[in-house]
């Protein structure tokens, strides 16, 4: 059995593969580095990783679970949310693609711009009420508001595109 996956780490795509050797033994490739480890299941969603030849120093327990289209892994007391290269989404700030999405299901309290307005990155576009708090959703990029689908008083689903900002001329990345 061989598993392959791509994650984004520090802005760069990293290929990770795990090839089953025998019993608990796996050969893992992270980019061009190779690690031989034993992976021991420990209860629901948990695994003890024992690097071969380095058992004493570096063995640890990790827990993992899917989180929507991401995958969350917790090890060494830290949680990392891993996204696939194409799966990255914006949060409170609109994405670099200019789309302002609802980070969660909620009600639109106010729409602060209209189509055609020039906006700056981090400028509030829509005010959303969710879980009894107000959240200002901001433009992810400098540009011109191409369209706004959010309507004051309307209910929106998580991930819904509420506005699209056409990025200003400067093309980077």
Residues 126-165 that bind other proteins (CB under 8 A): 129-135, 158-159
Cα–Cα distance for residue pair 100/93, rounded to 1 Å: 7
* Comparison of 50 and 165: residue with beta carbon closer to other proteins: 50
Strands of the 133-138 sheet, one edge to the other: 133-138, 124-130, 106-111, 155-156
What is the smallest separation between the CB atom of 52 and other proteins, expressed in angstroms? Answer: 12
What is the smallest separation between the CB atom of 169 and other proteins, expressed in angstroms? Answer: 28
Residues 6 or more apart whose CB falls under 8 angstroms from that of 112 comprise 124, 125, 126, 127
* Comparison of 144 and 159: residue with beta carbon closer to other proteins: 159
**Residue 22 interacting with other proteins (CB under 8 A):** no
**Residue 23 interacting with other proteins (CB under 8 A):** no
What is the smallest separation between the CB atom of 14 and other proteins, expressed in angstroms? Answer: 7
User: Which of 22, 56, 57, 77 touches other proteins by CB under 8 A?
Assistant: 77
What is the smallest separation between the CB atom of 107 and other proteins, expressed in angstroms? Answer: 9
* Comparison of 130 and 144: residue with beta carbon closer to other proteins: 130
Cα–Cα distance for residue pair 43/111, rounded to 1 Å: 47
User: Which of 25, 84, 95, 142 touches other proteins by CB under 8 A?
Assistant: 84
Cα–Cα distance for residue pair 46/28, rounded to 1 Å: 18
Residues 6 or more apart whose CB falls under 8 angstroms from that of 35 comprise 27, 28, 29, 51
Alpha-helix residue ranges (DSSP H) falling in the chain: 55-58
């Amino acid at each position: 059995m061989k598993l392959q996956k791509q994650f984004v780490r520090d802005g760069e795509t990293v290929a990770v593969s795990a090839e089953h050797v025998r019993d608990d033994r796996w050969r893992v490739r992270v980019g061009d580095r190779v690690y031989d480890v034993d992976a021991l299941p420990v209860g629901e969603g948990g695994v003890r990783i024992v690097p071969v030849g380095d058992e004493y120093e570096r063995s640890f327990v990790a827990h993992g679970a899917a989180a929507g289209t991401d995958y969350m892994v917790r090890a060494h007391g830290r949680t990392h949310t891993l996204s696939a290269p194409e799966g990255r989404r914006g949060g409170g700030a609109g994405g670099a693609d200019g789309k302002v999405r609802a980070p969660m299901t909620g009600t639109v309290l106010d729409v602060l711009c209209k189509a055609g307005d020039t906006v700056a990155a981090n400028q509030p576009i829509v005010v959303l009420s969710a879980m009894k708090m107000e959240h200002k959703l901001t433009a992810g990029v400098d540009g011109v508001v191409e369209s706004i689908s959010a309507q004051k008083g309307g209910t929106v689903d998580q991930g819904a595109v509420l506005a699209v900002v056409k990025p200003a001329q400067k093309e980077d990345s």
